Structure 1
Amino acid sequence: MFFKKKTTDPNAPKVKKPLWKRILKWSGITFLLLFVFVLIAPFLFRDKIFALIKEQINNNLHGKFECEDYSLTLISTFPNFTMELKKVSLTGEKEFEGVKLIDAETIIVSVDLYSVLWGDQIDIREVGLKNTDLNVIVLENGKANYDIAKSDSTKVAEGVDTSETKFALKVRSYYLENTNITYDDRAGDMYARIVNLNHHGEGDFTQDEFDFKTTTTADTLDFIYGGVPYMKNTKVDSKFDFAMDMKNSKYTFMPDDYVKLNELELGFDGFVAMPSSDIDMDINFATVKTEFKNIYSLVPAIYTADYNSIKFGGKAEVKGKLSGVYSEKSMPGFNVDLLVENGSFQYPGLPKSATGIYVKGNVNSKGDPSMDDIVVDIPTLKSNLGGNQLEAFLHLAHPMTDPAIKAGLKANFNLATLKDVVPVSSGTVLTGLIDSDVQIDGRMSSIDKGEYEKFKAEGSIVAKELVYNDTSMGYPTNIKIMDFRFNPQYLELASFDATVDKTQLLANGKIDNYLAYFLKGETLKGTFNVSSPELDFGSLMGSSEETVAAQPAPAADPVPATATSESYVFEVPKNIDFVLSSNFGKVRYPNYAGKPEIVLDNVGGNIIMREGVMSLDKLHLNTLEGSVMMNGVYDSRNPLEPLVDFDFDISNMDIKKASETFNTIEKLAPIASKCTGKFSTKMKFNTHLNNKMEPLYNTMNGNGTLSTKSIYIEGFAPLNKLAEKLKISKLSKQNIQDVNLNYTFKDGRVFVDPYDIKVNNYKTTIAGSTGFDQTLDYKMDMAIPRSEFGAAANETLNGLMAKANAKAGTTIEVGDIVNVRATITGTVTDPKIETDLKSQTQDLKNEIKEQVKEKVEEKIEEVKEDVKAKASAEAEKIMKDAEAKAAQIRAEAKKAADKVREESKTAGEKLVAEAGNNPLKKAAAEKTAQKMNKEAEDKAQKLEKEADEKAQKVLDEARAQADKLK
């Protein structure tokens, strides 16, 4: 009654469920399937997508791609796949082996699901890099580490399919988060470093016309060009939006585009078009704000935490225009104006201010491809720094062909008063006077032609009693006098007298082509005399312990050095050609690893620094009780591994002190630390250096000779072991006389040619090698008297002799001398000694044969010796006559050569004297005299060379005749 009975009749008509229930049911099923797909899709497609990424990278790029981990998700980013790559790097090869172009903590790629499954384009919705280092390097030969795309020919060689594919990528958005970028362009002499860059860009690049929007910030930007730091720790903020016309390749700035460098904000408008290989542009920029404080914020020392507390005044404006076509045959014209009017600043708490800052400048070009129409015009530049006046002007035209310059500088500074205008740190001392008044006016062609009267260059820059010290230095720098004087021919350093801590430096000289260097970029040439009573590098650099502690461990990866690399390599400037005549009474240099400081006395000679290479010419010095003469070069053109190539002539140096002082000697000859005595050596060697200026021993090659009159050796482990092995204790302590040996180092070892010495009066021949890793490989052949051996050893030798006599039918006894060969291997501290006493049996047999043979040959030798003596006497007479004749030829040639030199010198001095006090005539006469002396020297050397060749020929012919008689 209350419940309707459920029918069980199979033929009864089915009752349809309501539509809403059916929709709900199938929607639920669909959603469930979709949810399951979303759950399992990352696992289904994870490896497929990552394999696709690796395949595309390896097929198209040179280098090593690495990724520690990766993940794929769909749920949180549906309907997009999001792949996250962890610890991603792309490392270069060949020249850039070990250099990471990209080193990213995280790379995130979000891809449209539909495009992955069914599309012919991979639709990348967003790409992001987080916590990334980008390292771009361009070598001096123009090779760049970002040029990693494989050519079609390379792909074919590697079996990669190069046929056209429908696969394509389209990106809608990208970002860089916390990215550091280093750009080191050595070919263009340009360096940039950006720290903590955050950048975002978005736009639909599949459309013909769209808006491309970007924002950028960076904590710091450093930019160096041509060695000049244009930006240092500059904060960056920019917004650039472009109206993109892809069909016409035209990109137009949108309203409110700007870049902000510290507080200087520049607004931009205009366009850039690239319809072909030419680039057409019309760009305008100008300061958004015209306060002096904004442009002054670019000074690194000014833009600090207390910048906003400085009181600024005055106006400043920067504006410019870049218009025209850039191509192989044309350049866009440009015009840039800088104007500062009545600028001033005053720091809080300081009594004086900087006032009257005026700058008016313009740089312009109409677009001459040669860039010779560039004009730099700065008619006004002046300031008053608390009573310290500065005025300057500059006009430069035709910079590429015949620079015309008109410039002036007038300044009068009392440095002690600058602390009233600009704050200095506590403990800083700055005093002294600087006066300058320089005028330059003329064209470079006048200098090139020697028409110095047509070029005005006069004045001086003089610094007196200049003292600087601060807490970070720990010692004062005192420039008593520094006097530069200008004239058209050269810039003269008339006087320089400075004391840095305990070191006094004295110098004078001149720079010959300072104008050509400034105007045409030529190599700067000069000659200087430099001297010091005592040059103490230790006081300038800190103690050796401090120096060592400050040095970083060598880099594990062979990464090419960049401008930020930690390195102690001294790089010789490539744009100078200086000849320094040096004379130092004493030079002190700190040493490493607890070794005593290096003290050099009476250092003198010529030091030539030319285009990245420093040459030492007849540099002489005394140290460690001996004297050193050296010639050679230090080549820093490759600062990663500088090269040295030196000749040394060392005489009577204390061998133990040398080992204690120089780590290289300890490596080359570990026995030296156990020796007492003096040595002399003539050595030629070359090697590369590491970033601490230490030799890379595996690259060292060279040879030399070494001699000692007397040395005493005690405590050397290999000799101690040898003494123990032979049961002859006196071998562990040795007096060795008259050592003369030849050595060669290559392949990481020092090879010693066989040489004869007496070890405790034992005739000994030694040969072998020592590795720079302190491994040993030597043979010692020793002739030891039987009396030195113990009773057991002598009984063994007598038994061997008895057996040999019985077999040969002789009655010969063992001689008084026993030949022993010792093989020394292992290392310096753990040597291995083997003695070949078993070979004595064969030696005894050979001795019996030799004694029988000697009896037969004895009479023959008596006749031979008589004939040989007569022939030798005749040969000696021939050689003495030839040597006398050769000496006469050389003496006559030297006399003639000296006469040529003296006549030239006399004629030159006469020319200079006739020039009187006229500076131009005197300069011309000196130049002519120098030329005459050079020509005379060449002629004299030719006479001496020809005579030497003639004398040598006489000797060679005599030697050949004498050899026939022997």
Structure 2
Amino acid sequence: MKKKLKIVGISLLIIVTLLVASPFIFQSQIKDMVRNYINDNVNAKVSFDDVNLSFISSFPQANVTLDNLVITNLAPFENDTLAKVKLLSLDMSIKELFKNSSEDPIIVNTIAIDEAIINLKTNTEGQANWDIAKTSDTSTASETTKSKGFAFDIENYSIKNSAFNYLDQSTNTIFNIANLNHSGNGRFSGDVSELETKTEANVSFSLDSTEYLSNNSLKLDALIDLDLTNSKYTFKDNKAVINNLPIEFKGFVQLTEAGQNIDISFENPGSTFKDFLAVIPKAYAKNLDDVDTTGSFKINGVVKGEVTETKIPTLDINILSNNASFKFADLPKRVENITINTQIKNDTGNVDDTYVNINTLNFKIDQDEFKSSASIKNLTKNMLVNANIDGVLNLGNLTKAYPIELENELKGILKAKLNTSFDMNAIETNAYDRIKNSGSLSLSDFVFSSADIVNPLNITQASVNFNPGTITLDNFIAKTGDTDLNATGTINNLLGFLLSDQKLTGNFNLKSNVFKISDFMAEGGSDAPINQSAEPATALKIPAFLDCTITADAKSVYYDNLILKDVKGQLKIADEKAQLNNVTSSIFNGNLTLEGLVDTKTARPTFNMNVGAKNFDIAQSFTDLHLLQALAPITKVLQGKLNSTINLSGSLGEDFTPLLNSISGDAFAELMTTKIEPKNEQLFSMLESKLTFLDFSKLDLKDLTTKLSFDNGQVTVKPFDIKYNDIKMTIDGSHTFSNTMNYKVVLDVPSKYLGSDVTGLINKINDPAVDTITIPVTATISGNTLKPNVQTDLTSGVKNLTAKLIEIEKQKLLNKGKDKLTDVVGNLLGSNTPKDSTGTQSGSGVKDLLGGIINNTNTPKDTTKTEDNTPKDKVKDALNGLFGKKKTKE
């Protein structure tokens, strides 16, 4: 006995050892088997991390698992991921491992898939990305060859934590299944078999951009008869739950050569109104356990017919409810008198003939009754809508009657009596002749909050009248922050704005007593630094949904630290941009004009503007307007008026003021002032100390004009002239917005201002012509406005002037000598010459005299003449005196 037990024990040990060791022995064979199957049967790129074999987990069967299986498409869906499976597990008989797959199919009994993502796609040409099976090279392939690979004799299968995505680009059909957990038990080997399935998932479905299911919860327990010979699948005992709505259905689906043949009917087994609330997605339905309902609700339908490339089954789906009501236990309001009568029908099988009739949709909250009806046709193409609305709705009661959570506060009274008829193409193309509206709509005490606006918009009253071809905004009285708005106008596409996400277009007249830019700015903008130097994190945005023209008239507009009075002009708003046309205002005791563009579409808003200033008070404008301070910081000491035109462009900060280092442009300015107050300005004090003859308080700048340009944070001033008494000054240079300066002032200074030495020399010369002499004196200004550095070349100017005056004195003395010679020669030639008979002096006498003087040096002296008082001697003595030759003493 002991020997038998020992033999049994050894045998079991050997079996266990073989079961543990076999996977390692056959590992290579299994990998080759999987790899060969893939290469023989699939036109796609297939990869996997590893293949594992186990006899323990599925004994007496073998278990084969693939880790991280990825199937990637080839053309025409190249590089698209068809499938990605974290774990694929196959159970089969051990003997299947030893089959030659090239001769006999390998039979698989169980399949388990974990964390799979399947992406199925059909392109516009009708090609499917799952069509990856290889076809035989020849049409005479044997049946044996056709059967190569795997065969399935499935007893059970499971899919866990997976997702399924389907896209048909030709019909714009999207079907998504998320969080899929599905299992089935049955056998596929017989001609007729039975399959029992359990499914849980979240389902989304849309057709031609219309979403019919949105992540709806689905539970399905289905018992299905499988007639594999006739490809017919019959639903015997089937119960589904869509969200919380139970549905029972029966019928069949049969595959045909043309497509499918469907005959399915369904209905909800209950009849209370709670079943209707269950249709609403869980995110909005909340807990239905504590809701009290009255009245009935019934949904039933039949789907019957063929599904082909050109046809769909006929539809007859009905939703009915009469005199129903509901109230949630923790909410104060009851919704009552609910009547619903809706049909979804298709009588022909042509998809375009599907239509929806909402014959009645009525309800009442408190004393407010709301009634509506509509018909919707041609669902898949150019949808046709005809709707009637008549009722009153207190929007604030919605959250008091139904547990819906809104991101923004909703309050107000909506009154509507409206009939509308249109097709969606007319809405999208603004074909107003096909949009028929009549009636009115009003809104009062409405509060609207949105991410697009900073402060809640409180609409006191708004009323819209609908007429064929036109929609008029009769009044719009609202307030946001401290800003009040009063608007009227015409609206071109209100339905397009409400129904198809179009921009709101129209022409409006807007009036306001107080309009604050900060009421439309992102939080924190008012605390931003005045002298912007960094890119803003957030900024005021022009709403993207506006495409309109606004004619504005505002009594007071508050912008940064400025108050603009009587602002009038036109704004054309489109694409998050505002075009300003002929905008005028009163500010700084003068008039302001604006023309230009503000663009808030980009992360950093930009502007391009022409600014006109007329009769601005200089002191006030250069103190309060930071841009003017940056352009001409010294000008704040002036008293008087300013006319200017400024062309500039750049970026705006979060407080909607210019980022100074980003702006560029040019400016022209005309000063109309007679007074300057330099007492507290260090630069002027330093100039006066260097140039003692200047008194800037007496400087006359009236009618001064100057031009400047600016770019990259630097202002360049074109040369301009000013006059101080009889001194001309020419100024040019540049400065930066950080107040560093590089200027040059050239003064044409009259000589009389250049010190006592120069003045004494001028008095000694005693010549009026000397007073008109000017010397250029250059003052260079550097540093910054708070700590300026002033250098002058006055010393060298005085030195040069002194040298010039000495040269003038020298020339004056020379000129005196020449004048004396002229007088002597004139006397000699004129007074001592005897007159002829005509009364004029004799030319021959002058000729003789000059000849005698000239010839004297070559004529021997007459020793007989002793008298030394001849005319010749007199001239000689005079010349000697003029040119410095002294007579020898006797």
Shorter chain as denominator, the TM-score bin is: 0.5 to 0.7
| Preserved CA contact (<8 Å) 1:710 1:736 | no
Where 1:115 maps in the other structure, the secondary structure is helix
TM-superposed CA distance for 1:225, in Å, is: 5.3
Pairing 1:129–2:120 present: no
Structure 2 residue runs without a partner (length 5+): 139-143, 528-540, 560-566, 584-591, 612-626, 632-647, 667-707, 715-732, 736-741, 745-890
Closer, same or farther in 2 for the Cα pair 1:387/1:133, shift >3 Å?
farther
Q: How does 1:886-901 map to 2 (within 5 A)?
A: none
Q: What secondary structure does 1:299 align onto?
A: coil
1:436 aligned residue: 416
Q: Percent identity?
A: 20
Aligned partner (choices 309, 329, 332) of residue 313 of structure 2: 332
Residues 940-959 of structure 1 aligned to structure 2 (within 5 Å)? none
Q: 1:269 offset after TM fit, Å?
A: 0.8
The corresponding residue for 2:62 is 81
Partner of 1:348: 329
Distance 1:760 1:539, change over 3 A: closer
The residue that corresponds to 2:549 in the other structure is 581
1:201 aligned residue? 184
> Could you tell me which residue of structure 2 aligns to residue 216 of structure 1?
199
Give the aligned residue type for 1:125: N
Tell me which amino acid in the other structure corresponds to 2:239.
Y
Indicate the residue corresponding to 1:379 in structure 2.
Answer: 359
Residues 703-759 of structure 1, C-alpha deviations (whole Å, 9 max, x = no match): xxxxx9466889xxxxxxxxxxxxxxxxxxxx999xxxxxxxxxxxxxxxxxxxxx9
Encode CA deviations 1:332-388: one digit per residue, 9 max, x unaligned. 21101111122211122444411111111222222242633x443332221112322
Q: Note closer, same or farther for the CA distance 1:310–1:33 as it changes in structure 2 (3 Å cut).
A: same
- Once the two structures are TM-superposed, the CA of residue 286 in structure 1 deviates from its matched residue by 0.8
Is the CA contact (8 Å cut-off) linking 2:544 and 2:576 kept in structure 1?
A: no
Contact 1:174/1:201 (8 A) holds in 2: yes
Matched residues in 2 for 1:522 and 1:318: separation?
A: 32
- Is 1:259 matched with 2:240? yes
1:250 is aligned, of 219, 223, 232, to 232
Q: Is the 8 A contact 1:386 1:421 kept in 2?
A: no
2:152 aligns to what? 170
Q: Give the SS at the match of 2:297.
A: strand
Shift of residue 539 of structure 1?
5.2
1:509 and 1:481 map into 2 onto residues whose CA distance is 16
Compared CA separation, residues 179 and 712, structure 1 to 2 (3 A)? closer
Q: How does 1:864-879 map to 2 (within 5 A)?
A: none
On the 8 A contact 1:258/1:265 being kept in 2, the answer is: yes
Q: Equivalent of 2:129, from 116, 122, 147?
A: 147
1:217 Cα deviation from its structure 2 partner: 1.3
| Of 288, 311, 320, the match for 1:307 | 288
Q: 2:261 aligns with which of 277, 280, 299?
A: 280
How far did residue 440 of structure 1 move?
Answer: 4.6
Taking structure 2 as the reference length, the TM-score comes to 0.54
How many Å separate the matches in 2 of 1:329 and 1:760?
83
How far apart, in 2, do the equivalents of 1:327 and 1:199 lie? Answer: 28
Change (3 A) 1:411 1:260: same
| Aligned counterpart, 2:342 | 361
Q: TM-score, length-normalised on structure 1? A: 0.50
Deviation string, structure 1 residues 826-869 (Cα, Å, up to 9, x no partner):
xxxxxxxxxxxxxxxxxxxxxxxxxxxxxxxxxxxxxxxxxxxx
CA distance in 2, matches of 1:109, 1:530: 73
Residues of 2 paired with 1:155 and 1:571: CA distance? Answer: 62
Whichever residue aligns with residue 320 of structure 2, its letter is L
CA distance in 2, matches of 1:528, 1:73: 76
The equivalences for 1:745-764 within 5 A come to: none
Q: 1:433-460 CA distances to partner (integer Å, 9 max, x unpaired)?
A: 1101123579999999x99999974212
Question: More displaced, 400-409 or 288-297?
Answer: 400-409
Question: What is the letter of the counterpart of residue 216 of structure 2?
Answer: T
Counterpart in the other structure of 2:221: 239
Give, in whole Å, the separation in 2 of the partners of 1:165 and 1:110: 20
Q: Deviations over 1:564-584 (max 9, x none)?
A: xxxxx99999xxxx9533679
8 Å Cα contact 2:167/2:174 also seen in 1: yes
What is the aligned partner in structure 1 of residue 689 from structure 2? Answer: none
Match of 1:39 in 2: 20
Letter in 2 for 1:216: T
The counterpart of 1:678, out of the listed 652, 656, 664, is 664
1:460 corresponding residue in structure 2: 440
Counterpart-to-counterpart distance in 2, 1:258 and 1:571:
49
Change (3 A) 1:129 1:427: closer
Q: Report if the CA contact (8 A) 1:104-1:130 is conserved.
A: yes
- Structure 2 distance, partners of 1:404, 1:249, is 39
1:409 aligns with 2:389: yes
Aligned partners of 2:43 and 2:544: how far apart in 1? Answer: 34
Pair 1:498–1:62, CA change in 2 (3 A)? farther
Return the letter of the residue paired with 2:162: T
The corresponding residue for 1:843 is none
Mapped to 2, the partners of 1:376 and 1:417 lie a distance apart of: 29
Partner Cα separation in structure 1 for residue 452 and residue 544 of structure 2: 26
Change (3 A) 1:677 1:200: closer
Q: What one-letter code is carried by the residue in structure 2 that aligns with 1:79? A: P
Deviations 1:237-267 (A, max 9, x none): 1112221112211111112x12201221111
Quote the residue 1:790 is aligned against: none
- CA 626–455 in structure 1, closer or farther in 2 if over 3 Å, else same: closer
Residues 688-837 of structure 1 mapped to structure 2, 5 A cutoff? 709=709
Determine the structure 1 residue equivalent to 2:299. 318
Larger helix fraction of residues: 1
| Equivalent position to 1:485, from 465, 470, 482 | 465
Q: Distance in 1 between matches of 2:273 and 2:81?
A: 42
Match of 2:95 among 114, 119, 125: 114
Contact 1:72 1:84 in 2 (8 A): yes
Q: Deviation digits for residues 851-897 of structure 1, max 9, x if unmatched?
A: xxxxxxxxxxxxxxxxxxxxxxxxxxxxxxxxxxxxxxxxxxxxxxx
Q: RMSD over aligned Cα, in angstroms?
A: 6.1
Change (3 A) 1:626 1:63: farther
Give 1:126's aligned amino acid.
T
2: distance between equivalents of 1:529 and 1:53? Answer: 72
1:523-563, Cα deviation, whole Å (9 max, x unpaired): 99954559795676975689899xxxxxxxxxxxxxxxxxx
Contact 1:447–1:489 (8 Å) recurs in 2: no
8 Å CA contact 2:454–2:522 kept in 1: the answer is no
Q: What secondary structure is seen at the aligned counterpart in 2 of 1:43? A: helix
User: Structure 2: which amino acid aligns with 1:412?
Assistant: V
Q: What is the CA deviation profile of residues 679-723 of structure 1, one whole-angstrom value per residue up to 9, with x for unaligned ones?
A: 58xxxxxxxxxxxxxxxxxxxxxxxxxxx9466889xxxxxxxxx
Q: Decide whether the 8 Å contact of 1:203 with 1:210 is kept in 2.
A: yes
Q: Determine if contact 1:428/1:471 at 8 Å carries over to the other structure.
A: no
- CA displacement at 1:222 relative to structure 2: 4.8
Kept in 2: contact 1:394–1:405 (CA 8 A): yes
1:174 is aligned with what amino acid? Y
Distance 1:412 1:210 in 2: 59
Question: What is the CA-CA distance between 1:497 and the residue it aligns to?
Answer: 5.2
Q: Classify the secondary structure of the residue corresponding to 1:364.
A: strand
Cα distance change of structure 1 residues 647 and 499 upon mapping to structure 2, 3 Å threshold: closer
Once the 2 structures are TM-superposed, how far is the Cα of residue 273 of structure 1 from its aligned partner?
1.2
Q: Work out whether residues 483 and 496 of structure 1, in 8 Å CA contact, stay in contact via their aligned partners in 2.
A: yes
